[in-house]
């Protein structure tokens, strides 16, 4: 029985709004300036954009961030991870279909907690091999891919294109960079944020887990980095 390859997380930023920070700053400038469209962009220098974006982000006036979007190509994540990802509703998703794509040689994600356990790592790999073999057997015997896929595990690798605007990304990073988030989607969020900061450092300077913005943990139980809201109020 040939062991299947273990997939590795890979994220590429394939498209984004041109001049993202100037675009958001221009939208913000329109809200505060009594000028026509022809004059609107003339005042938007890099220095002014930084000052304006700092103001609107800290003030919570995030509607202007919706004018800037980012498109990511993602592979090396499990179906378990993608099910969490698509819960972020203000976004666009195009995911590799298990109905049309043959999965006889699917890759899979091996969690570190299992990989570090010699006994369970071997059983896990054997289970994945068995699922692959059973899937292939059904396909060979005329079972449609859309039905054979029912035996594919949550660990099966998937590929997905994701587009989010900046405001949605802030929400995504607040939720998924939290230390209490599941490890796989947290790793994905980390890579996405690094890519965003490379092309739009002003926009994403303050992006991160929500505790960093609030100064306390809104969860019932903190990971320890920040006190909970109840602990802050009780002081």
pLDDT tens-place string over residues 188-234: 999 999 999 999 999 999 999 999 988 999 988 888 889 988 888 88
Out of 125, 176, 180, 213, which one is annotated catalytic? 176
Mean pLDDT score of the chain: 92
Say how far apart CA 229 and CA 220 lie, in whole Å: 8
* Pairing mode, strands 157-165 and 10-16: unpaired
- Sign of the torsion angle spanned by Cα atoms 139, 142, 143, 145: positive
Say how far apart CA 72 and CA 48 lie, in whole Å: 29
pLDDT tens-place string over residues 70-113: 999 999 999 999 999 999 999 999 999 999 999 999 999 999 99
Buried b (16+ CB within 10 A) or exposed e, 122-137: eebbeebeebbeebee
pTM exceeds 0.75, yes or no: yes
pLDDT the model gives residue 2? 45
Cα angle value 185/231/168 (rounded, 5°): 30
**DSSP secondary structure letter of residue 163:** E
pLDDT the model gives residue 44? 76
pLDDT tens-place string over residues 32-56: 776 677 777 666 788 888 888 998 8
> Model confidence at 5, in pLDDT bands (50, 70, 90)?
low
Instruction: Please confirm, yes or no, whether 176 is among the known catalytic residues.
Output: yes
CA 14 to mean position of chain CA atoms: 14
The answer to whether residue 1 scores a pLDDT higher than 60 is no
């Amino acid at each position: 029985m040939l062991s299947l390859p273990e997939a590795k997380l890979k994220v590429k930023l394939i498209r984004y709004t041109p001049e993202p920070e100037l675009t958001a700053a221009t939208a913000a400038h329109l809200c505060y300036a009594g000028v026509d469209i022809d004059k609107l962009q003339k005042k938007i220098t890099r220095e002014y954009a930084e000052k304006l974006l700092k103001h609107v982000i800290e003030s919570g006036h995030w509607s202007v961030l919706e004018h800037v979007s980012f498109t990511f190509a993602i592979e090396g994540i499990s179906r378990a991870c993608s099910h969490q990802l698509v819960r972020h509703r203000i976004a666009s998703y195009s995911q590799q279909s298990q109905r049309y794509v043959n999965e006889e040689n699917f890759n899979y994600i091996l969690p570190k907690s299992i990989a570090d356990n010699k006994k369970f790592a071997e059983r896990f790999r054997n289970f994945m091999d068995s699922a692959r073999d059973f899937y292939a057997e059904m396909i060979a015997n005329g079972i449609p891919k859309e039905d054979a896929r029912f035996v594919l595990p949550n660990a099966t690798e998937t590929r997905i294109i994701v587009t989010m605007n900046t405001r949605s990304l802030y929400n995504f990073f607040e939720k998924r960079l939290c230390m209490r988030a599941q490890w796989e989607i947290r790793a994905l969020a980390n890579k996405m944020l690094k890519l965003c900061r490379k092309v739009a450092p002003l926009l994403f300077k303050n992006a991160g887990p929500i505790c960093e913005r609030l100064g306390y943990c809104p969860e019932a139980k903190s990971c320890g980095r920040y006190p909970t809201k109840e602990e802050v109020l009780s002081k």
